[in-house]
Every structure is written in C-alpha cells, then in structure tokens.
Amino acid sequence: MATEARITRHPVLPPLSDNWVKFTFNGREMIGRKGEMVSSAVFAGGEHVFGHHHKDGGPQGLFCANGQCSQCTLIIDGIPLKSCIIPLEEGMVVQSVEGLPSLGDIDPPEVKAPERLETDVLIIGAGPSGISAAMELGRSGYRVVLVDDKDRLGGKLVLQTHKFFGSEQDCRAGVRGTEIASIIAGELKEFQSVDVWLESVVLAVFSDGTLGVRRPDGYKIVKPRQLLVAAGAREKSLPFPGCTLPGVYGAGAFQTLVNRDQIRCSERVFVLGGGNVGLIGAYHAIQAGMTVVGLAEGMDRCGGYKVHADKIARLGVPIYTRHTVLAAHGRESIESVTISAVDENFKPIPGTEKNFKVDTLLVAVGLSSVNEFHAKAVEFGIPSMLTGDSEEIAEASAAMFSGKICGRKIANSLRGETVEIPADWLEKAEVLKSPGGAVSEYRESKQHEGVFPVIHCLQEIPCNPCMTICPKGLIITSGHPVKGLPQYSGGCIGCRKCVAICPGLAITLVDYRKKSEFPTVTVPWELGDWVVEKGQTVTVTEWEGETIGTGTVISLKAAPGFPSTMLLDLEVHRSIANRVAGVRVQKSEVTAPEKTVPELPVADSAIVCRCERVTAGEIRQLLREGVRDMNELKARSRAGFGACGGKTCEILIPRIIRSEGIDPDEITDFTKRPLFAETRLGIFCGREEDE
Amino acid sequence: MMHEVIVIGAGSIGTPVAMSLAERGVKVLVLDSGMSSGQGNNKCAIGGIRATHSDPAKVALSLHSLKTFSTWKQTHGDDIGWFMGGYTFVSYSEEISRSLKSIIPAQQKAGLNISWRSAEEIAEKVPGINRRGLLGGTFSPEDGSASPMESSYAFYRQAVRKGADFHFGETVKSVKSGDVFTVVTEKASYSAEKVINCAGSYAREVGAMVGVDLPVYPDMHEAGITEPVLRFFNPMVVDISRSEGSANYYFYQYSTGQVVFCITPDPPLQGKGREETSVFLPQVAARMVKLYPRLANLKVRRTWRGCYPQTPDGTPIIGQVGPEGFYAAVGMCGQGFMLGPGVGEVVARLVTGESTEEDTMVLNSMRLDRTFAGTEALK
Ligand SMILES: Cc1cc2nc3c(=O)[nH]c(=O)nc-3n(C[C@H](O)[C@H](O)[C@H](O)COP(=O)(O)OP(=O)(O)OC[C@H]3O[C@@H](n4cnc5c(N)ncnc54)[C@H](O)[C@@H]3O)c2cc1C
Ligand SMILES: Cc1cc2nc3c(=O)[nH]c(=O)nc-3n(C[C@H](O)[C@H](O)[C@H](O)COP(=O)(O)OP(=O)(O)OC[C@H]3O[C@@H](n4cnc5c(N)ncnc54)[C@H](O)[C@@H]3O)c2cc1C
Ligand code: FES
C-alpha cells in the first residue's frame, strides 16, 4: 500500500512494518505507517511545505528532523507540535501552520508535582559513547540513568547503513552502523543497574544539582552524583540566499528520512560539503535510488576519507572541489542550486557559476559538539564529563573507546578506588580519531595471471578489517597496525572476503584463471540486485571514477556472512582489468548543469536565524552600528530568540563577525538559558507527552 | 575627565535617568559592569507596566512612564513592543476580592481607569480562564506591557544621541567624595560633580562606598517565555493568592504572541543569584495551568532568573543621600522597569534643581529617612 514517495526496496535496509493508518493533511487524506513520525508521513504524501512563517510568509519545512529546531511544526489535532518527533496515529488531523498558530481552549487538567529521583550517574545520550560508558558503569554496579530522546538506542549509528571503519576486534569494523547499534543495545540489556529512558529529553541543568528530563510519562527531576554528557553533535549550516527553503537540510535530517523512515524524499540531490558526512550522505542517496547531481567542497580535496569520495565518484557523482553554493532557488521549495568556483580566499569567482536542477540540497559542512549541559553543570558545581562527539567530533569507533574510558573514570571517582583503564584503550581512542593521511601514488598491478586482490586504498585511515579477515593473513602493512596502508603479499586463494568486508569498497579481486584475455573482476556491490542484470554491459571506472571501458555482468550474488553486501562479477578485458574499481551508474547527462544560471539574490539576503527570519544583512548592519555584545545583537535583531534557542545562528553569526573584520575577542557571548527543547507548560505539572 | 554627573548602573533606572539628564543638556557618564544597556535585572523583568498602584507616588511615576512607553514609537521610531492590554487582578476568594476592592476608590479618585469586573467580564477578557470559583477581578484597560530589552536599548540610543557617554564592562570599585567625586573602576578613574547610584541589586554596596546604608535586599525570582501564538488574551493577569512555596504570579501575552510569566517564591529567597532552579517550572506551571487551562499546551521556550531589589516596605528610595551631590534611585522592587522613565525624569529634575510640586510629593514618600514600616497593598 506504500505511496510513491516511499522507498519500496533498499539494498541494505529491511522493509518496515506494514501497519498503515489514515490521516489528513490540510483536509487531504493521506496514508502513513502507524508510529512513524508525522513529518515523514507528510513527506511520503508528497508535501514538503509545512507552512509559512508569520514574519515574512517564507515557506517552512523540515530542517533537523531531530526535534531541535521547530521548523517542522504542524498543527496536529489542534495543537502546534514538532511533527518530526510525534508518532503518527490513525485519524490524526494535521494542518500546516500559516502564520502564527492559535491555541485552543481545553478543560482544566489535573495538576501534580513532578517526581524527583536520585541516581549515581545520569548519562545524556545513548549513542555509542553513552552506551559504552553505561556498560562500564553497569559492570561496576552503579545506578545509571541513560537518557536519549530517540525511540531506540544507538544515537547516530541507527542512521548509518554503511560499514564502519576501525578494526574488527576493537570496534566491529566492516559491520554496518545500524547493526552495531543493535549489537551494543543488546549487550547493554545485561546490566541490571542501567535504567534506559528512551524518548526522553534532558531539558535543563539546574543550579540545585538536578536535571529536568521530559519522559513520555511525565516530567522527572533527577539528581545524579555525576553527569556524563554524551549528547553527540549538531550539524552546522551555511547562510546563503534560499538556505531556508524546504528541501535544503542537513545530512542528519536526510539520513533520518531516508535510512530510518525510508522516505523517498528526493529525486535529485546536490551535496554541499566533502567531509565524511556529505560523502556518505551522497552514497546513501544513491542507495535509496536517487540521483546525486554533484557535490561541492570548498577545499582542494574532500576532507572526508578518500575511499568515501572515490566510491561516489565511481558511481558517477561529479565532485566540484574549490566550489561553494551561492544560492538555492525556488518559490515554495528548492528548485535549483547555483554553485561557483572560489579563489584562495574562498571568494566566489564570477563567471564560474553553474546551476543544477535539484529538489534537495544536503548541507554537510561540519558538526559542532553538543556540550552546553556540561558547561552549565560545571558552572553549578555538578561533577560532569564529556564523551564521544560531545567532547570531540570523531568517529563512532573512537566514541566507544572514549565512552568506556569515561565510564571507568567515573567509576573510580565515585568510589575512590581504581578500576584499571587499559593503556591500549587510550591509544586506540586516539588512533580511531585520526583523519585521513597523505595519499600514496597509484601503482598498477603488473600481474596478469592467477587470482589476487587489488587494493584501491591509498590513504592512511584507521581501518584494517581486510588484514584481519584474510584467512591466510596475506594482507599486511608495513606501517601502523590499524592505520597503515594494506598491501597484498601474494598467495591469494580467491575467497573474496576482503572484497566483501572493506568498508571503503576499495578492494576488487581479479581472476585470470579461467579466461586470461577476459578475466573476471569481482567488485563489491551495495545498490541492490535490481540495478544491474546478468549479461548487461556496464561502464567501468578506475579507482577515482575515471571511465576506462566496459564490462559484462556475469553474476551478482550475496556475499555469505556479510549482510546486504553483494559481489558483482564482471568480465573485463585484461588491458583494464587490474584497474577496474567500480561500475558507473549515473550517466553524465543526468548530472550536467543547466544551460543558464538564474539571477542571483544579494548575499546579504541570506537568512541567518531561521526561527525569526533574520538576514545576514540585518546582523551586518548592527555590527556596523558598533554593537559588540551578543546579548544586544540578539535582542535587537531577534536572532536566536526563536524556537531552537540559537542552536543554528550562534554558529553562523560569528562567521559574519569575522567577515566584517571584527576581532572575535571584542564580542561578548550571550548568556545561555534553558530549555534545551521547547516543552509544553503542562508537562511540568503532571501532564503526559501524548495528552 | 570631568563629568557633571556619573550614573552608576545602566539598568531599568540608570539608562532612563541618563537619558533624561542628557535631554536636559547635562554631561553625563554611565558606568556599568555589563556589556550593554539593561543586562542586570532589567532584562529579567517580564515587561508589565501599570499605573494602577495604591501609593500616589508610584502612581505619579508610572503615569509619566506610561506616557513615555506608549508614545515612544511615534516619537522616536523604534518598536519597543508597547501593547495596551490592560491589567487584571483576578480573585478566587472573598478575602482577595475584599482587599482588591478596598483600594479601588482611592485609585479612581487619583484618576486611574480601574474598576471591579464580574467573573463573566473577566472571562471575556481572558477567554477560557478557569471559571470554577472565579469571583471577578479588577480591570485597568490603560495599563500594558513592553519589552524591557528593546526599551532599554531604545532609551540608551536616545541618551547617546543626546550626548550621554556609556562605558560598559566597568565595575565601580570605589567612590570618594570631596570637592568633586572620584569614581574608580578597574579600568579608570573619573571625576564628577554629582553621582547617582542606580546599581539595582548592588545598591547597598555602592551606597556603602560613601558611607550610606541603603536598605536594599535583592530577592530572586524566576521567569519564562513561551513560543508565540495568535493573540488569545490581552491583559496582564495577576493572581495574588498564595500557594505552597509561592505568593503571587503574573503573565501576559507579549506584542508578538509569546506568553511571558513569573512567580514570587514564598518565603522570599534572598540573594543575587541568577541561576535557574528546578523548582520554578513545576511551581509556576501548576498555578498557571489551573488558572488558565489552555496554557498547558503552550510550549515554554526559555527561562531565567533575576532579582527584585527589595526594600523593607516595598517602596523605592529616591533622593539625595549621604554626601552632598550623591543621589540614590534604588530599591525598585518588582517595579523598576515600569517606574524607570518616570524615575528618570524626577531624578533629572532633582539633580538640575527643577523639581516640581508633584516631584516633591514623590520624593518625600521615597525618602531614605522614612520608617520603612508600611507595606503597599499591591507591591
Ligand atoms: C553521515 C555520518 C556518517 C558516519 N560514518 C561513520 C563511520 O563510517 N564510522 C564511524 O566510526 N563513525 C561514523 N560517523 C560518526 C558517528 O556516527 C559518531 O561519531 C558517533 O555516533 C558519535 O557517538 P556519540 O555517542 O558521541 O553521539 P551520538 O551517536 O550522536 O549520540 C548522541 C545521542 O544523544 C541524544 N541526545 C542529544 N541531546 C539530548 C538531550 N538533550 N536529551 C536526550 N538525548 C539527547 C541524541 O539524540 C543521540 O541519540 C558518522 C556520522 C555521520 C553523521
Ligand atoms: C522575574 C522578574 C520579573 C519582573 N517583572 C517586572 C515587570 O513586569 N515590571 C517591572 O516594572 N519590573 C519587573 N521586575 C523588576 C525589575 O526588573 C527591577 O525592578 C528593575 O530591573 C530594577 O532596575 P534597576 O535599574 O534598579 O536595576 P538593574 O536593572 O539591575 O540595573 C542595575 C545596573 O547596575 C549595574 N551595576 C551594579 N553595581 C555596579 C557597579 N559597582 N559598577 C558598575 N555597574 C554596576 C548592573 O550591572 C546593572 O546593569 C521584574 C523582575 C524580575 C526578576
Ligand atoms: S525538523 Fe523537527 S524539530 Fe527540527
């Protein structure tokens, strides 16, 4: 019964439940999955515009898909609510918010004081770091309350359908993020003293040593002996004209729609940002059957791991380095995006503009740590620590180690004794954080007989499952055991396990044993068995995506022991066989820019504060008047006064300050105040979430 | 550098005082520890402005203030969020009805537009208010509200336009009297003929610098603001009944749709702290939702805490105190924002020797050498 805007088949994700319910959106009947977020159901019904802003009538839509920004507010059964965190129920009446919502009358409710409770450790965030810390504390018998605002454990892992880096032994390299989430969630169950609160949001740290938590069954006030902030990171964004149009959103929102709720929210995607998040976002889009028309990166090369960049280049995604986005165009939602080349000062170079027809622009320009609870706790004298992305933006693999280490440190400080913290944990936590290193030169294999792997991985990254999986131990390194470049040392038996496990999809197997003129090249395949068929001629590329010829599909089979990974056997001429690294699936016509570039709006019209619709020009004007106190800047522009509490604009305003040539030290920060997320007044006096 | 007047504190009082002085051509310097105008208690005020007090001096000051607030946009152009929604003190008990009703005649006599309204009428003004036990309330349509932050910046800009100097990020450490006053901060030393103490919560400390004991004891109050929604009620709603842990609370819908609210802890919490506590939201929510059920569905956006610079009798201290040329405009309790522009004018006239008859009446009842015995009916 799925509607058009749903993903009906996915190479990795299992199908979701078939429990459909009816609801209405602006009077139109729609169908959605019971329990999925209302925003997703509305997207699936083909509506991306959730209303129009009361200030200037600008169209509003989903932005964070994470309950933090309120951009997705819809009137649900008469009450304005963030639709991205409200589960869909049969018969819901949903309306867009046109201007300010109205507040309906209700009968006098019962009121009661919230429950107060104590615990040894309160952990905010049940991602890999929070869960790892909880397990260590649980092992020592401490009472832990592990709070997460999502409906399942795992944090960002549950959105990651790709195989993770690292090492097999330390952090399950080669396993997909979604699976790692279920594995560690399962392990956590063993620890009786860990109380998991899902769908619960930490709202504030108070000066009386307590934290306020909104749980589905009501508001709770928790007094911990120790706080651990494992709340992850939030996405940064960029101000450019059109940046608030529905269809422009962060990678996290996109992954939530596509990978968690399996919504086919886009047809044509452009990605801004060549870090791992943007690169993987592009890959996830293609897996979901969308076209990625390009990816722009401001620097000379993508900052993410090279294997990620190469992987999407091979599929046919043009990567525009030294480019930025100038504007998103569209009336009610994004219709096209203009990019341009930038000079060494990141200034756009006139005449280099390109415009692409798209319905989605994914902004993946970095993450910033969610650490405000820690800052408050320190201010109020509550013992507190940071772990995972809240401490330093890194990888899930590193987050698990940093969580474990924190767990033990806390255990030690609470009891004043010493549980050992293995020295290699500290080292691993560091190694797993490593960014990509230098890229070595490509050397073509000269072997034209027998069977052997070709390793198209020439950048040092913390990843080594190919070495540990080889049953003969034939893949070795002369460098660091985890980070060193893998090298094939000869003697391959053709088991193809290295091809199947490599998270970077950077290993192929070439087999000359049957046909030496047309050897078989095995490439890893994660796009589903409907994209290619036996006998088909496909375009093959070398490691960085350059087309080098064609090949014929001989077979496409599941790789035993590697869920959702398939192995694609191609017959390829020996002249190119050793260089084949992948198959191109996007034709260059579909990714070509438009012939003309639309007129560009002035850069100062870019909205910096999306809640209050404050432009870069307005902020600039106040700075030029001499305003240097962020409190004043905010009070006078209203930037940061909106629903999200300044989570987006507080990162953008400093950019404008710098671009005005003002020394950031001249600027006084504004005072942060609760709440972390807007919460209905009734919740504080005994009402429950769904009342 | 020599100034005619140094104002200590750019808060609800200091900034309008400086504005009024500058408008009279007085060379004034304002010193404040904060980084811009109104960062002390001023920005913690929720923005209620009423003239309907019971003390004639406060009435006089507030009427001046009301004029400034209500005409600001026409006169100066900036939007300070003024909204004339009126005030209603609601009653659910005979005792409160009696005490509210008892002061109406005097207020009416003073020319204030206030009267007792039936439960029905109150329910019309506050649609959806809990009718169970509602006995009625006072209503004063000409009172209203404005944004304390926007107002403070607007007054500040006007003061600067008229030639006032503001030095932010400077805390006054000592004041020495002599031929002229020497005012020392961590950054510089200034001299002036006259000094005005508008230091809010720190009034007592600043008074002590010249050997005056100003009985100003701040107590702490928390407040919050919600998301904006379409206007559903106009007046500031005040409930002066007591409940466990709290005395009165009040709330209104700001000109752009947000509901702003605060509560008075009982017994009062003395101190200058500005940190949020876990007590506030459950306490205020229970009372607001009981009184006005639909507020249960309104999302709280932000909370904060500030102080009422309280005096023992709930009335400010305004006038010349201690050494000649030293003045105080302090102890504004829960009303400094609404009193600000009025106090600014009275103090400016006092300092320049132009006090009117009405000013003399005001200053007389706000003298430091009073007994501080009485308490105002509606403080
Ligand atoms: C696109 C993408 C690809 C990635 N690929 C890889 C990869 O290949 N390999 C790898 O190792 N890592 C990868 N990562 C990184 C990895 O996902 C993160 O580093 C890791 O999840 C961080 O773990 P964490 O525990 O610190 O935080 P998170 O996993 O972010 O968990 C934090 C949790 O806290 C919750 N939370 C936050 N605030 C509150 C609050 N106030 N109340 C309640 N709950 C709250 C959040 O909702 C979340 O569930 C990727 C990340 C992204 C975005
Ligand atoms: C929750 C709450 C709600 C309120 N609601 C209202 C309301 O609706 N209406 C209303 O009229 N009032 C209200 N008030 C009361 C109002 O906020 C205060 O009465 C008013 O702000 C006091 O003004 P002030 O100028 O005396 O003090 P402040 O505004 O605090 O100004 C004093 C200034 O002096 C500075 N200062 C102090 N010492 C020094 C020094 N040594 N050197 C340099 N600078 C110094 C401080 O930095 C500060 O900026 C409310 C108060 C609170 C807390
Ligand atoms: S999109 Fe729902 S809160 Fe941000």
> With 0-12 CB in 10 A as exposed, 13-18 as middle and 19+ as buried, what is B267?
exposed
pLDDT tens column, B55-83: 999 999 999 999 999 999 999 999 999 99
Q: Cis check for the bond before A146: say yes or no (omega within 30 of 0).
A: no
Residue A358 domain-assigned (yes or no): yes
Residue A349 domain-assigned (yes or no): yes
Is residue B313 scored above 90 in pLDDT?
yes
A467 with A586, same domain?
Answer: yes
Which of A365, A388, A414 is where one domain is finished?
A365
pLDDT tens column, B318-364: 999 999 999 999 999 999 999 999 999 999 999 999 999 999 999 99
For Cα atoms A602, A604, A606, give the angle at the middle one, nearest 5 degrees.
Answer: 95
A132 with A225, same domain?
Answer: yes
Confidence at B32, pLDDT banded by 50, 70, 90: very high
Domain that holds residue A41: 1-103
State the Cα–Cα distance between residues A426 and A135, nearest whole angstrom: 17
Confidence at A418, pLDDT banded by 50, 70, 90: confident
Average pLDDT over residues B191-208: 98
Q: For residue A671, what pLDDT is reported?
A: 77
In terms of phi and psi (left: phi > 0; alpha: psi -120 to 50; beta: otherwise), the region of B16 is alpha
Average pLDDT, chain A: 94
Q: Please state, for a pLDDT cut of 90, what percent of chain A lies above it.
A: 83
State the Cα–Cα distance between residues A247 and A253, nearest whole angstrom: 10
A464 with A429, same domain?
Answer: no
Residue A616 domain-assigned (yes or no): yes
Pocket test of ligand 3: the residue of A36, A60, A76, A82 to mutate, having most ligand atoms within 8 Å of its CB, is A82
Chain-centroid distance of CA B151 in Å reads: 12
Confidence at B376, pLDDT banded by 50, 70, 90: low
Other Cβ atoms less than 10 A from the Cβ of A111: the count is 19
State the Cα–Cα distance between residues A602 and A606, nearest whole angstrom: 8
Nearest C-alpha of chain A: how many angstroms from B37?
A: 8
The DSSP output letter for A471 is T
A422 with A302, same domain?
Answer: no
- Gap from CA of A163 to ligand 3 centroid (Å): 27
> For the ranges A40-49, A177-186, A641-650, B163-172, which has the lowest average pLDDT?
A641-650
A150 with A228, same domain?
Answer: yes
Which of A103, A125, A150 is where one domain is finished?
A103
A294 with A214, same domain?
Answer: no
A359 with A382, same domain?
Answer: no
Is residue B378 scored above 70 in pLDDT?
no
The three-class DSSP label of residue B223 is: strand
Residue A600 domain-assigned (yes or no): no
The three-class DSSP label of residue B252 is: strand
State the Cα–Cα distance between residues A400 and A188, nearest whole angstrom: 13
Helices (H) and strands (E) in chain A, counts: 17, 37
Confidence at A2, pLDDT banded by 50, 70, 90: very low
A82 with A18, same domain?
Answer: yes
Residue A8 domain-assigned (yes or no): yes
A76 with A173, same domain?
Answer: no
Residues flanking ligand 1, CB < 6 Å: A 124-130, 147-150, 155-157, 160, 162, 164-165, 201-202, 230-232, 251, 276-277, 280-281, 370, 388-390, 394-397, 399, 676
Average pLDDT over residues A616-636: 93
CATH number for A16: 3.10.20.440
A65 with A164, same domain?
Answer: no
Nearest C-alpha of chain A: how many angstroms from B146?
A: 13
Is residue B375 scored above 70 in pLDDT?
no
Ligand 2 and B172: CB distance under 6 A: yes
pLDDT tens column, A250-307: 999 999 999 999 999 999 999 999 999 999 999 999 999 999 999 999 999 999 999 9
Other Cβ atoms less than 10 A from the Cβ of A77: the count is 14
Q: For residue A670, what pLDDT is reported?
A: 77
Q: For residue A691, what pLDDT is reported?
A: 67
Q: For residue A415, what pLDDT is reported?
A: 83
Answer yes or no: are the C-beta atoms of A72 and A50 closer than 8 Å.
Answer: yes
Nearest C-alpha of chain B: how many angstroms from A19?
A: 29
Ligand 3 and A201: CB distance under 6 A: no
Nearest by CB to A107, which of B37, B293, B303? B293
Q: For residue A645, what pLDDT is reported?
A: 85
Q: What pTM does this model have?
A: 0.94
ipTM value for the complex: 0.94
State the Cα–Cα distance between residues B246 and B283, nearest whole angstrom: 8
Residue A574 domain-assigned (yes or no): yes
Ligand 3 and A63: CB distance under 6 A: yes
Is residue A553 scored above 70 in pLDDT?
yes
Helices B14-23 and B336-351: crossing angle, nearest 10°? 40
Number of domains in chain A: 5
Question: With contacts defined as CB-CB under 8 Å, which chain B residues touch A628?
Answer: 35
Residue A439 domain-assigned (yes or no): no
Tokens encoding A561: 């022991």
Ligand 3 and A70: CB distance under 6 A: yes
CATH number for A177: 3.50.50.60
Residue with CA closest to ligand 3 atom 3: A67
Which of A103, A134, A159 is where one domain is finished?
A103
Q: Which domains does chain B have, with CATH numbers?
A: 2-64+148-215+312-365 (3.50.50.60), 65-144+217-310 (3.30.9.10)
Tokens encoding B171: 């805390």
Residue A572 domain-assigned (yes or no): yes
A622 with A513, same domain?
Answer: no
State the Cα–Cα distance between residues A685 and A691, nearest whole angstrom: 12
Q: For residue A1, what pLDDT is reported?
A: 41
Say which ligand is closest to the CA of B41. Answer: 2
A211 with A299, same domain?
Answer: no
State the Cα–Cα distance between residues A116 and A113, nearest whole angstrom: 9
| Strand-pair category, B172-176 with B181-185 | antiparallel
Cβ-count burial B305-328 (b if 16+ within 10 Å, e if not): bbbbbbbebbbbbbbbbbeebbbb
The three-class DSSP label of residue B23 is: helix
Signed CA dihedral, A51, A54, A55, A56: sign only: positive
From the list A393, A412, A360, the residue with the least C-alpha distance to A276 is A393
Average pLDDT, chain B: 96
Tokens encoding A127: 């991602």
Q: Cis check for the bond before A675: say yes or no (omega within 30 of 0).
A: yes
Signed CA dihedral, A346, A351, A357, A359: sign only: positive
